[in-house]
A and B are shown apart, each in its own frame.
Chain A
Amino acid sequence: MTDRTIQYLLLASVFVIATCGLIYELIAGTLASYLLGDSVTQFSTVIGTYLFAMGVGSWLSKFVTRHETRVFVHAQFLIGLFGGASAALLFVLFPHVAAFRVPLYGLVGLIGALVGLEIPLLLRMLKDRLEFKDLVARVFTFDYIGALLASLLFPLVLVPYLGLVRSGFFFGMLNVAVGVVTLECLVADSPWKRMTRVLGVGLFAALLCGFAGAERWTEWSEHSSYPDPVIYARSTPYQRLVLTRSGSDVRLHLNGNLQFSSRDEYRYHEALVHPGLSRLENARRVLVLGGGDGLAVREVLRYAKVEQVTLVDLDGDLTQLFTQQPLLKRLNNGALTDPRVHVINADAFTWLGSAEGRYDFVIADFPDPSNFSLGKLYTTTLYERVGRVLEPGGALVVQSTSPYVARRAFWCVDATLRACGFRTEPYHVYVPSFGEWGFVLAGRDLLATEVKLPEGLRFLDERTLERLFDFPADMAALPVEVNRLNNQALVRYFEEDWSRYVH
């Protein structure tokens, strides 16, 4: 091989390395903004860490006194491996580690240091082939052109077409390829060469698998079905759980249905909890059914009078996520780790059947009755079971879908509670991300009229609260059937009302 070819080859490597390096940096920055929010901070800290690590790598290069080429090849492999898998790795780690920033900056630092090590090594490998002024000029030219290419490719091609995970694996393969080509052209045949070749090919194949399988085992392609970037997605044994984020707005979707938007969920949860609980002077024990996100619990914990909160949610993965994940913990104010709170992962229906305790206030915050299985959670049978765990004078509140969109469904919940011998007080609230939303407050006896709202509410005050119970004509009560296990009237109303609204 001529010196000239080798020279071009090495310059091409500079180009590839520069492109890859910047891509990894961009991936890490984007991912951090997706997952942690606040993109300005994330991008600056990631870039800062990366550049600093490059400096460290350059400095370390002085300790490489011989076998530059070998070290170069190995460093390529390592960059390919860590850079290539970085996006997948960070996605997978996110829900499981409390301190997400440790792996994040660790990876960024490692990749930065390796890239930082490469450029001086390349300079040294080229130094006998070029004059110093040419050397510096060309190396840096290719370096910056690579950077330009990366910064254009990333937003225009990679993110929309390949996605973060695949882009990572793709550039990982390029790094490994550069390593292997260098190996083939510059290293004389030796057992070391043969071994390294096997290693390189194996690594390439592994990254290829990652590339091919990325969609299959991560399904982050859900981007397309959600308007906002998906930051977390997972199938629990019970449901598909997807978190999206756009700016400061975090949204939780269960099986594709929006559960909350962090922007306005306080309206929903204040309205769910306070109209009832603020009127129960001696409420000490509160039971929350469903509501594994802990947001209703957060509202309950505002009352000093509440001594014990029991949260029963089927999905252990969901409650775990909202107990441990820092971003989500911030949303529910750490409610699920509060010593007053006891989390039980069980099916509410079955659990109620054998529940021993008595509660002053029960919150039924179940998913909408969009199918026959979920419809069972709104039947006379469930409310009778709730009735059996209510203290005398206690109350129950039920999230009851939209009285505007699914008017019959809403009043069906009310009728069902009344059929079980409850006195009901239906009310509604406007939640921008949901629309007009309804709740039914129910007790065996009339609730006290005196309201004692806790501190720190963003939406409710006594005046607003009073108005919630007023229904304009287009949402007013109408005659409907009682929802029973053997007629599932609610699911039918809900389905018909929503499809009429959508079409």
Chain B
Amino acid sequence: MSEVRELTFSEAINEAYIEEMQCDENVFLFGECIRAGTFPHTAGLLKKFGEKRVLDSPIAEANMAGFALGAAQEGLRPVVDFMYAGFSYYAATEIFLNTASYYHVHGSQHPVPIVYVGTCGVGRRVGYEHATPVYGTAIHHPGLKVCMPSTPYDAKGLMKAAIRDNNPVFFLWHTTMVAQKGPVPEEEYIVPLGLADVKREGTDVTILTLGLQVHNALAVAETLQDEISVEVVDARSVEPFDLETLLKSVEKTTRLVIVDEDIERAGFAAEISALMMEQGYDLLDAPVKRVCHPNFPSPGGYMDAYTMPTPERIEDAVREVCR
């Protein structure tokens, strides 16, 4: 059997773009400095698809998102790249209110397929504007789908699913992982939205997380392997969320730690904790534990060490729920 080739996150996303743009004329890329590629995921696409389908947007995020909604209503399938996902907050009205609500409020008759792309995550010491992971805010607005890959394989598959989806989808990727490599097969595949992935099986405790933190969770599982058997569930998709896979895992392990780079208060981890109370309470032998960004703003700089869920913090949490 031949070795599966390795691609970076950027290369994987680039391939997803190429494949989807080749199969649907209506897909086009529109974003901040994508022709040059602040991040290399758009490298070479201008040459390949021309100026019509690969456009640098004005640096005007509200207009970018309003534009995308209009283009989608008219039958196009825009992929809107905010460079850093946090910049999209200038378009909060357009994305979280108007676009998210459009389909449902107008009688569930007219889909608006849009992909919003942006990097995020702590770890580069650059502060809240570039770090805010957006997904906690996004899932508070029904109508949006939200995903965040932890591997180049998932990045390609989720991006293809996002582009084909008939709804607005936020595709988030971690700034520190842009050049990280992983196996990506040559054959075409899709990773459907709404399917979690058990990245490591275990029997004593479940860690639910996504993005970069999947790797920290796996590192902790490795460290603890002789003491505590850790199962790592990668949510991949935050909305729709695969509760079934999580419940199945917790049924086996009876303990749950949720690792989330977002601010702890009222975020993704809080939502999953509440779902566990309502639908998984009887499965648990210990209270759910969250490892999140503490409830203060992300200053950046050396403070990142305080705000990031590190392997040390995750390990402490795992030990606590297993006591």
Real binding pair: no
